[in-house]
A and B are shown apart, each in its own frame.
Chain A
Amino acid sequence: MLQRLRESKSAQGTILALPTTIWLFVLLIIPLILTMVVSFGRRSPDGGVIYTFTLDNYTRLFGYSTDCPDGQASCFDPLYVNILGRSLSLAFNTTLLVITLAYPLAYFIARAHPKQRNFYLFMVLIPLWTNFVIRVYAWMMLLRKEGAINIILGWLMNLLHIPFAPLEMLYTPGAVLVGMVYEFLPFMILPIYTSLEKIETPLYEAAADLGANAIKTFLRVTLPLSMPGVVAGTILVFIPVMGTFIVSDILGGRQVILVGNLIQRQFLDARDPTFGSAASLILMVMTLIVTYFYTRKFGFGEEIVVA
């Protein structure tokens, strides 16, 4: 038996993959199946699940409503579709903004003197030592009507004798965007930095030697060689932004509701786990579809991960 095991490569592979397989099964596959089963169920009056097979939760999510004005039997209610769309566009915008901010920063760090580089990287990482939620609350303190930003602005305007009414910044889509960008910036800076830092100096010299000026060198050599970092960062940012509910909860209040908030409320406030499950699955499918097309075009940035 042992002898055969030693000879059979595929048997060895199976055994080596066993712990991972069990782990995946217990923590991923089973919960996923449960979610799916629940999403096809119906909410019981006391907030439990009646196990049947109905697509009601899904049709409701996509706008089918029986609670209509004018006594119609059914009509289209865009509430949830809007939430899905808002989440998707926010995730796109956040990712784009994060790339725009992170790339120059990463470039600056990668080109800095090696002694200073570690210091800058340290600065990028410091915020991550504070709890996610606390960092979001800090933004609340900054953006509030009586918050730091308004106080400073008011003081400045007063100095310039310009009448000033405190800005309404909190509980706006802009506040959520700012919060998201802030939270996920390091996850873009680090992979881009890694890929930039891996580009060896002789490559820049070779480009110059072959007649490329600084701009052409950047466009033809630096940028393409750092794309794996951008790709890896995009995946690291886009997926969590799609799902998170804390930032929008604290900085968006009732104004900016995302899928994450919807799901959370179904489980905790509305006590409808079946609708919450359906929303979770739709969120997952949406994320998967976007990621699928993205990685098919750009890969996973595996050069970064492998290095």
Chain B
Amino acid sequence: MTSEFAVEMRDVVKRFITPEGNEMAAVDHVTMQIKNGEFFSMLGSSGCGKTTSLRMVAGFEWPTEGEVYIEGKAMGHTPPFQRKVNTVFQSYALFQHMTVYQNLAFGLEMEGAKDDEIKKRVGRALEMVQLTGMDRRRPRQLSGGQQQRVALARALVKTPDVLLLDEPLGALDLKLRKEMQLELKALQQQLGITFIYVTHDQEEALTMSDRIAVMSKGKVQQMGTPVEVYERPSNKFVADFIGESNFLAGKIKSISGNEASVFIPSLNAELAGMPISDGLVKGEEVNVCIRPEKIRIAEKEAVNQNMFRATVTNTVYIGVDTKVFVDAHGAKLKIWEQNRISRLDPKSFYTVGQEVWLMLMPENTLILKKD
């Protein structure tokens, strides 16, 4: 491997002509650098351009502008069969007229591999995905999960530098999905291949990835490790898309060092000692963002500067957590309270109408630029 990056997209734009005759940018000036051996995910809601980006790496689509590089080489109009990447398709795209063995052998035959080598490599690939003994079956005679593994093995048997996966687990049930997530991750670590993984499931992306590109409307909103995108979302979209967030509109009152005071009109209060990110100035309109699990809730007031009175409007028990919805001077907030104690006693719940105190720890809040 010569290049530091397995795959690089430089300022890539892909425009389509819609059936209505309009031009739309499915991918809009995307730049990504994916390191060798990295598990990289593209995460975003439906239609944000994930598949289109992946297809440009695979060679099924060509960028309207910009360039895709694989192993440092500009791809231009290189056809898919000359790129050292392989794809696991969302629909699996298995060859129904071939057995599992023939499906796997296909790619090796195209390389001109010898029969005994094909046999060895197919055997190893089947072992890797735990399908040994299934080689004479037709794809139709396999369960969804098994078909998924065949699709995976068919791509892996080619020992690509980069494996592209487009929502490969989309068709599986939740339990199998979770198992496969861990298996895929383990496989990727064991093989050391670069994975580019497309999903719209944030939990899946957080579970598996080394880095995530959060996409929206053809643009990359944020790129970072799972911890970074969850704990330090760079804008309101990311904060809202990954996990859940409370947003309070406010205005920066004063800045001292890297801490700021923010006035929140809806709470009619000032939040002090908040960590501030670059580029924010005094007097700027901002969004204060707090994760629901990071708000402390108490029945009595404690001595703390960032405490507010609130009224419980609703509670929902969901097993692991209790969701508490409150109204603080007109600002609606949601709080996830972990059920560390048994809630069998009804008195252990907050009741609707109850007065509580909320504590916002400065280190758990985030000041985001107003979009």
User: Residues on A close to B: CB < 8 A?
Assistant: 200, 202-203, 205-213, 216, 220-221, 224-225
Contact = CB atoms under 8 A, between A and B. Distances in A.
Contact of B86 (A200, A210, A216, A224): A210
Give 8 closest A-B pairs by Cβ, nearest first. A211-B110, A210-B107, A202-B93, A206-B93, A208-B80, A211-B81, A224-B97, A209-B87
A220 B106 contact: yes
Contacts of A208: 59-60, 79-81
A205 B87 contact: yes
Contacts of B60: 205, 208
Given A208-B79, A210-B106, A210-B107, A200 B91 contact: yes
Nearest to A224: B97
Contact of A206 (B79, B87, B97, B111): B87
Contacts, number: 57
Is chain A's interface secondary structure helix, strand, loop, or mixed overall?
helix
Interface of B: 58-60, 79-81, 86-87, 89, 91, 93-97, 106-107, 110-111, 154-155, 158
B97 A205 contact: no
Given A207-B95, A212-B110, A213-B79, 14 more contacts: A203-B95, A205-B89, A206-B87, A206-B93, A208-B59, A208-B60, A210-B81, A210-B154, A211-B107, A211-B111, A216-B110, A220-B106, A225-B95, A225-B97
Contacts of B93: 200, 202-203, 205-206
B114 to A, nearest CB: 16
Nearest to B82: A211
A12 to B, nearest CB: 29
A66 to B, nearest CB: 56
B27 to A, nearest CB: 18
11 contacts: A200-B91, A205-B93, A206-B94, A209-B87, A209-B155, A210-B86, A210-B106, A210-B107, A210-B154, A210-B158, A211-B110
A209 B81 contact: yes
B80 A205 contact: yes
Contact of A209 (B58, B91, B94, B96): B58
A209 B80 contact: yes
Contacts of B95: 203, 206-207, 221, 225
Contacts of B81: 208-213
Contacts of A212: 81, 106, 110
A86 B107 CA distance: 46
